Every structure is written in C-alpha cells, then in structure tokens.
Amino acid sequence: MKILGIETSCDETAAAVVENGTKILSNVVASSLPLHAKTGGIIPEVAAREQARAMIPVVKESLLQMATSLSIRDWRSAIGQIDAIAVTFGPGLIGSLLVGVETAKILSYVWHKPLVPVNHLIGHLYAPWLANSHPPEFPLVALIVSGGHTELLYITGHGKWRHLGGTRDDAAGEVLDKTARVLGLDYPGGPAIEKVAASGEKACFNLPRPLVDSPDYDFSFSGLKTAVVNLASRPADSSVKQLTNRLVAGLAASIQEAVVAVLVKKTVKAAKEFKVSNIVLGGGVAANQRLHEAMIAAFPGKVYFPAGLALDNAVVIAAAAFFNYAPVSWQKVAADAAILI
C-alpha cells in the first residue's frame, strides 16, 4: 500500500510517499525556518502563509520523486498508484494545520482516495520503522520530545498506547529555544545549544532539574528556564552581550545536561517499571547526540532514535497511517466539510 503523507503542523510544508509503512518513495520538506530565525521564533501567521504558497509545489515534487523511484513515466501517472492520503490533523498551529488538512481533503475528494488522519506526535514515533530490518518490538516505552511537547507513552502495539506523563509547563525543545535566545544563540535553540555545548566547555552551572525524582512521569522545565534567565541577567553580567563565549558555552552545556538528565531518568524509570526492552525516541529534540549517549549509557536494552527523520516530515506521517490505518472515505470527506479539525 502506497500512502501520500502531508505534514504542516508547525513551520514545515512536507509531503512524502511511503510504501507499506517502511519504504520511502519520496520525501520533500520545505521549511520557512530562515524567516523565523530572523524573528527568533515562529510567528504562526507567517508560517501559515508560507505553507499556503508551498503546499501544492511540495505535493507535486513528492509525486515527481515517487515517479522516479518507481520508474513511472510522469508524475500524473504516479497518482493512480497512491492508495490513500494521510494528513497530520493535530496537535499544531491551527492556521498551519488547516493548510495541510484542507489540501488533503481536496485531493481525497478529487482523486477518490481515502483520507487517514494522523496525530503528529504518534507520527514522530514511526521513524525507526523506515528502512530498518529490525524495527522496534512491542511493548515499548516512547519519549516524544519536540518544540511543543514532552510526552512519555507505554505502547503495547500499533495504536495501543497509554499516556504515562508529560510536561506541566514548557516542553524540552521550548526551554532550549528560549534559553538559547537569552544566551544570544540562533533559532532554533536546540541545535545551537548542542553545537556550543560541544565546544568542550564543562557543564559548570548547577541548574535545576525539576521533578527529576518525583514519583510520577511528569516533567517541568519552566524553573530551569527562569534560572537561566536570572543567571544571564545578574548585575555583574547585566546584559547578554557581556556574557563571554566561555560563559555561554558553559551555560549551554549545563542547560543541555539538565534537560538530558531529566529526560533519561524518567524514560529509563518507565522502561524498568513496565519491563520493556525497547525505548523509542521521537521529535526534534531526539536529534540531540548527548541525549543519545546518555540514554544508551543508562538503559541496557535497545534504544531507537529517529536518525534523519527527527524533525517534522511527512514520511513518518505516511508510515504511521499505514500501521494505524483508519481511513475516512472520500465520500465522507465530501459530505462533511468540517471533518478532522
């Protein structure tokens, strides 16, 4: 089964075709990141307007790539081989989601293909199923760490998950993005902090690790963010510009250590309590190498990372749709304009 996936929950406009949830036939991602780097964060209206412009060219490019992968004469003929259309319906920015969902609905109606709604966070977990001869085995514990979410799940099969806990305030990615800005680093903050932290400076600040030893599976990162803001604006260093490169590197390493320590401790605790031998990480923060090292060191079982599919993309949405296939017929799409969002 070949599924065309569409993903527009944040600032990416993505389309991909995946066969049987495992074989990538195309993968196209257009990002409006350079625009958001200028403003130090995403302005939802700007993101949605860019997505409205990029959506159709991105879908067309994914069909072109699919045609090449399958040696099909032209992209229009590739449409006939698509069995279903998958789309992220949430969570995400509403203006951005609407671009993808409305496009998917129209294509479903015009092409007479079923539509498969996919939860963005569940999509993030499917990266290890792509082109992997040894995909994860159930039951497993999954950690989803992105710009907007920090969620821990216990999963016993495709579509069978239990929410163990999540952040009570800021997400892990959000604290990296916000503290990076305080340190004068680029947006997005996660990769910027990782890069600066890798310069060799020690994690010399004893920053708070909220809820690290709490008996539940919840997270809280706002206290860490406040501690960094306070440190960076102490009278002695009254403006960010006065922070030396060494200090910024030391703070960046300390922030990364604090976030990683909490994520690893809670995830491994859940894996032990639920007696699983597989941990799956998903979402943008799961691209972090220090998180990889620390998770592997703390857990004797197998840890799966999203490799090149950590950031938002449509490949994982199409894969999740295959393994959790729950289609809405195109007739239903046509009859119910308000469907999905």
| Beta carbon of residue 246, minimum distance to ligand KG4 (angstroms, whole number) | 21
Range in contact with ligand KG4 (rule: CB under 6 A) among 135-143, 189-197, 225-233, 318-326:
189-197
Lay out the site mask for Zn ion across 199-218 (x = CB under 5 A, - = otherwise): --------------------
| Contact of residue 189 among Zn ion, ligand KG4, none (CB under 5-8 Å per partner type) | ligand KG4
Give the CA distances from residue 241 to residues 5, 85, 183, 245, 268, in Å, rounded to whole numbers and listed in that order: 44, 49, 8, 10, 39
Report how far residue 274's alpha carbon sits from residue 160's, in angstroms, rounded to the nearest whole number. Answer: 15
Strands 278-282 and 140-145: parallel
Determine which residue in the list 170, 177, 201, 257 makes contact with ligand KG4, applying CB under 6 A.
177
Cβ atoms within 10 Å, residue 59? 24
Residue 265 phi, psi (nearest 5): -60, -45
Residue 190: CB partners within 8 Å, gap ≥ 6? 173, 176, 177, 180, 284, 285, 287, 288
Determine which residue in the list 96, 146, 150, 167 makes contact with Zn ion, applying CB under 5 A.
146
Query: Between 1 and 37, whose beta carbon lies closer to ligand KG4?
Result: 37
| Contact of residue 177 among Zn ion, ligand KG4, none (CB under 5-8 Å per partner type) | ligand KG4
96 touches ligand KG4 by CB under 6 A: no
Cβ proximity of 82 and 4 under 8 Å: yes
Lay out the site mask for ligand KG4 across 114-153 (x = CB under 6 A, - = otherwise): --------------------------------xxx-----
146 assigned ligand-binding residue: yes
312 touches Zn ion by CB under 5 A: yes
Report CA dihedral (42, 128, 324, 149) to the nearest 10 degrees.
-30
| Percent of residues in the chain assigned helix, strand, coil, to nearest 5 | 50, 20, 35
Lay out the site mask for ligand KG4 across 199-228 (x = CB under 6 A, - = otherwise): ------------------------------
Q: For the chain, how big is the Rg over CA atoms in Å?
A: 21
Place of tokens 């907007």: 148
170 touches Zn ion by CB under 5 A: no
Query: Between 96 and 278, whose beta carbon lies closer to Zn ion?
Result: 96
User: In terms of C-beta density within 10 A (0-12 exposed, 13-18 middle, 19 or more buried), how is residue 35 classed?
Assistant: middle
Cross-strand bridge partners of residue 118: 88
| Beta carbon of residue 118, minimum distance to ligand KG4 (angstroms, whole number) | 13
Q: Is the preceding peptide bond at 139 cis, omega within 30 degrees of 0?
A: yes
Lay out the site mask for ligand KG4 across 147-166 (x = CB under 6 A, - = otherwise): xx------------------
Lay out the site mask for ligand KG4 across 1-40 (x = CB under 6 A, - = otherwise): ---------x------------------------------
Range in contact with ligand KG4 (rule: CB under 6 A) among 35-43, 220-228, 282-290, 301-309:
282-290
312 touches ligand KG4 by CB under 6 A: yes
285 touches ligand KG4 by CB under 6 A: yes
Token pair in block for residue 332: 């239903």
Cβ proximity of 282 and 272 under 8 Å: no
Residue 265: CB partners within 8 Å, gap ≥ 6? 212, 213, 298
Determine which residue in the list 48, 183, 287, 328 makes contact with ligand KG4, applying CB under 6 A.
287
* Residue list for the binding site for Fe cation: 120, 124, 312
Interface residues toward ligand KG4, by CB under 6 A: 10, 146-148, 173, 176-177, 188-191, 194, 283-285, 287-288, 311-312
Positions touching Zn ion (CB under 5 A) are 146, 312
